[in-house]
Chains A and B, each alone.
Chain A
């Protein structure tokens, strides 16, 4: 039985079957590809930069764009503040269960150098950037909560997580013809996600007493779990960009990561006690006798090929350089499906890191309200690569429950599916050789989840806010 299943089922045994505690771990997101927008100018334009890419962020968006750079530059940006909240509606009775994280730092740091002295039209750039970075330190305490026929006297969860998905790469752009540029880059990819959770609860359950009547019993549960994903990969990038004197530009970028190594480690310890009302009273004094106890320990286990491969990313960009003061851009980014990840016994025999194909859309503009004050605005989608939640026809009488292996695999404990839409707004202050910009990125998400690991489906609302700062200097 899978770990997440086990966690959920542990809480649902008994005649009332009221589930409570969360079965899906709190964080670690390899399933959205636009959690963090990369770059200095591009971040304000909603990540629509595939047909522009004429600064150091071309390493990420389109290395061909580097060849159209106007000057050498260095740039850096950082998310000064970040917060994310995911609300699983009607999970605790009518109340939501909320996952929170904050305080990450997601920098972009890059530089661009023209190499005309060696080969006319050749440009080199490097970039170090993060596409996902999160920190979580959440403590949740719920007391005396009545959920259905069950009373939760006490529920406590401590969830800690850190997740970083970083890239470091270099690229060259070359202009063989005045309007055409080609680009090639090689990027090192590293993902490291660690989640540690502890949860315990004291929950009332109806129990059948010796005389046949139904009385109150109590269940004490405790669980520790730790999981970590580590992936290293190399990602070659090819790009082409056509930029016409009329101001119309188009770009195509293709990336395909090759996983060099990956490892998913998970370990857990789960203990349950069931005791009578009288025993519960004396338990605090250390005098009770436990009616029953179970424990389940999963020693830390390594799973290779759990991540296995990365999607192919195809970015098609359009841009209109309407004049010195206005630029509009639009990108369509498609990610192929990843279906060869190894199934995890701890995950209900599901391949946790299989991802479906998806397409994100990015659009944005840059408008110089004054020569020293450009404003950048963008809209984008950040869709979920996990499959949409399927709702099963749950029916106890016909055995269509999570106890049924087939039903369970199809309709219980499915991973979250949350699609985001985002907007970015940045204002910059430009000087002849330098610029700094400041702005915010907001994302709103909607989706569904089975947070408790059973057949029930919760609607999910999520939001993420970043305040970011960037500085660029032309040489």
Chain B
């Protein structure tokens, strides 16, 4: 996959507003931020304030990452397809351990098979992944997997636990796309360590930062994880298992995730990036099979949702070139 660092969905508008808030009215923005924060947090305990601060940071990091992904891949704009994906995701989520959460699904204009769970509830699934699914149950299982990533804060906690050095390296990995570009490589400059004052600077220049994280740097590091390194394998197995559980609870066919993964095994090119950031498909299938055995899944009759899925499939946009 080509390096991802374009700020797509952040867009010119946000760009300019960030600019005006961050640079031009530095002091004003400082006052306004504090005022808004005080309004939300007044009367709450320290722990509650901390939770709110953390949630805010989680959403900011996720939004930033989602923006970058959308900017890089582009998005499918057919509201019928997007609406369907959102319905399925939020339906599955309503049977997850996080029924109170709202998940926002977008479809990336790309034919590889992949899906991304950004902190805060931003889930992005590629058009290639949608096309590879044969039933709504399969789609529900994939989205359940991503819901589990978000709900269990896999990405956000990983970022929070990163030592500053790791964060710098991961962020640098994203920022320095010039690594594979010798010409840009000559223009690379040293990347200093973030200091406390640097976080304050970033806060006022970009209008964001929170929960001890430099949001922009965390988003860059998150992009490195999501597109290059991947999360910890155990997290992926956990998301597989939880996703399957959520789908079963929602009434879908328990075997759907295995069926979807099986279909990927002979699509080398389209799953190249998926395999880079996830455990081997064979291993994942084994782990899910083990779970299904534990759950006595062969005794569960779930819906496949094939008919509905086929109807939506008819309005899928034509495939894009990879």
Residues of A within 8 A of B (CB): 52, 54, 68, 70-72, 74-76, 109, 111, 113-117, 178-179, 243-247, 249, 321, 324-325, 368, 370-372, 374, 430-434, 436, 471, 473-475
Q: What interface size band does chain B fall in?
A: 35 or more
A434 to B190, CA, bound (A): 13
Q: Are A70 and B178 in contact (CB under 8 A)?
A: yes
Give the A-B pair count, Cβ closer than 8 A. 128
- List the A side residues contacting B12 at CB < 8 Å: 113
Question: How long is the Cα–Cα vector from A243 to B178 in the complex, in angstroms?
Answer: 13
For the complex formed, measure the closest distance between the CB of A369 and the CB atoms of chain B, giving whole angstroms: 10
B237 at the interface (CB under 8 A from A): no
| Contact of B188 (CB < 8 Å), options: A324, A374, A473 | A324
Q: A68-B184, A113-B7, A245-B185 are in contact. Are A430 and B192 (CB under 8 A)?
A: yes
Other-chain contact of B10, A52, A245, A247, A475 (Cβ < 8 Å): A475
8 shortest interchain CB distances as A-B pairs? A431-B198, A372-B192, A371-B190, A245-B182, A371-B192, A473-B205, A321-B186, A247-B186
Listed by A's residue number, 25 A-B pairs whose Cβ atoms lie within 8 Å are A54-B187, A68-B183, A74-B19, A76-B24, A111-B16, A113-B15, A114-B7, A115-B6, A117-B73, A243-B183, A243-B187, A244-B183, A244-B186, A245-B182, A245-B185, A246-B186, A325-B189, A325-B190, A431-B192, A432-B172, A432-B194, A432-B216, A434-B205, A473-B22, A475-B7
Q: How far is the CB of A109 from chain B (nearest CB, A)?
A: 8
**Interface residue ranges of B1-59 to A (CB < 8 Å):** 5-8, 10, 12, 15-16, 18-19, 22-24
Q: Decide: B187 and A70 in contact? CB cutoff 8 A.
A: yes
B127 interface residue, CB < 8 Å from A? no
| B187 cross-chain contacts in A, Cβ below 8 A | 52, 54, 68, 70, 243, 321
- Could you tell me if A432 and B191 are in contact, using CB atoms closer than 8 angstroms? yes
CB-CB under 8 A from A68, the residues of chain B are 183-184, 187
Residues of B participating in the A interface, judged by any CB pair closer than 8 Å:
5-8, 10, 12, 15-16, 18-19, 22-24, 71-74, 168, 171-172, 175-178, 181-195, 198, 201-202, 205-206, 214, 216-217
B178 / chain A contacts, CB cutoff of 8 Å? 70
Whether the Cβ atoms of A432 and B217 lie closer than 8 Å is yes
| Residues in B neighbouring A372, C-beta threshold 8 A | 192-193, 195
Per DSSP, chain B at the interface is helix
Interfacial chain A residues near B214, Cβ < 8 Å = 432-433
Measured between beta carbons, the chain A residues less than 8 angstroms from B192 are: 370-372, 430-432
Contact between chains at B186 and A434 (CB < 8 Å): no
User: Smallest Cβ distance from A192 to chain B, in angstroms?
Assistant: 22
Given contacts A70-B187, A178-B181, A475-B10, contact A432 B15 (CB under 8 A): no
- In the complex, what residues of B have CB within 8 A of residue A368's CB? 189-190
The reply to whether B186 and A117 contact each other, CB–CB distance below 8 Å, is no
Q: Are B15 and A434 in contact (CB under 8 A)?
A: no
Given contacts A76-B24, A432-B168, A432-B191, 15 further A-B contacts (CB under 8 A): A68-B183, A70-B184, A114-B5, A117-B8, A117-B71, A243-B183, A246-B186, A368-B189, A372-B193, A374-B189, A432-B202, A432-B214, A433-B217, A474-B175, A475-B206
Q: How far is the CA of A179 from the CA of B178 in the complex (A)?
A: 13
Nearest chain-B residue to A430 (Cβ)? Answer: B192
- Of chain B, the residue at the smallest CB distance from A470 is B23
Smallest beta-carbon distance B124→chain A, Å? 14
Contacts of A76 in B (CB 8 A): 19, 23-24
B19 lies within 8 A of A116 (CB): no
What residues on A are CB-neighbors of B190 within 8 Å? Answer: 324-325, 368, 371, 430
Q: Which of A70, A109, A178, A431 meets B195, CB within 8 Å?
A: A431
A126 CA to B23 CA, complexed, in Å:
16
Distance in angstroms between the alpha carbons of A340 and B172 in the assembled complex: 54
Q: From residue B117, how far is it (CB to closest CB) to chain A in Å? A: 22
Cα distance A210–B111 when bound, in Å?
107
Choice from B18, B72, B194, B205 contacting A117 with Cβ under 8 Å: B72
Q: Are B188 and A70 in contact (CB under 8 A)?
A: yes
A471 to chain B: which residues have CB within 8 Å?
A: 23, 205
Contact A71 B183 (CB under 8 A): no
For A249, what are the chain B residues with a Cβ–Cβ distance below 8 Å? 186
Write out the residue numbers on chain A whose beta carbons fall within 8 Å of the beta carbon of B194. Answer: 431-432
**Minimum C-beta distance from B109 to chain A (A):** 10
Report yes or no: A432 in contact with B171, Cβ–Cβ below 8 A: yes
Contact A436 B201 (CB under 8 A): yes
Contact of B216 with A433 in the complex, beta carbons under 8 Å: yes
Inter-chain contact B6/A114, CB cutoff 8 Å:
yes
Complex contacts, A374 vs chain B, CB 8 Å: 189
Flag if B168 contacts A434 (CB, 8 Å): no
- Provide the residues of chain A in CB contact with B15, threshold 8 Å: 72, 74, 111, 113, 475
The distance from the CB of B15 to the nearest CB of chain A, in whole angstroms, is 6
Q: State whether A70 touches B186 (Cβ < 8 A).
A: no
Decide if A178 touches B206 in the complex (CB within 8 Å): no
A145 to B171: give the CA distance in the assembly, Å: 70
**Nearest-Cβ distance from residue B321 to partner chain A, whole angstroms:** 13
Residues of A within 8 A of B205 (CB): 433-434, 471, 473
CB distance from B159 to the nearest CB of A (A): 14
A270 CA to B6 CA, complexed, in Å? 64
- What residues of chain B lie closer than 8 Å to A178, measured between beta carbons? 181-183
**Alpha-carbon distance A432/B185, docked complex (angstroms):** 17
Q: Is the CB of A111 within 8 A of B19?
A: yes
Provide the bound-state CA to CA distance between A102 and B16, in Å: 31
List of A residues within 8 angstroms of B188 by Cβ: 70, 324
Within 8 Å by CB of B189, from A243, A245, A324, lies A324
Query: Are B201 and A431 in contact, CB atoms less than 8 angstroms apart?
Result: yes
Most buried by A among B168, B188, B192, B206: B192
> Smallest Cβ distance from B79 to chain A, in angstroms?
21
CA distance A117 to B74 in the complex (A): 7
Closest chain-A Cβ to B70's Cβ sits at a distance in Å of: 9
CA distance A370 to B191 in the complex (A): 10
A303 to B188, CA, bound (A): 52
- B177's closest neighbor in chain A, by CB? A70
A111 to B206, CA, bound (A): 13
Selected from B24, B195, B216, the residue in CB contact (under 8 A) with A475 is B216
Q: Quick check: A70 and B176 within 8 Å, CB to CB?
A: yes
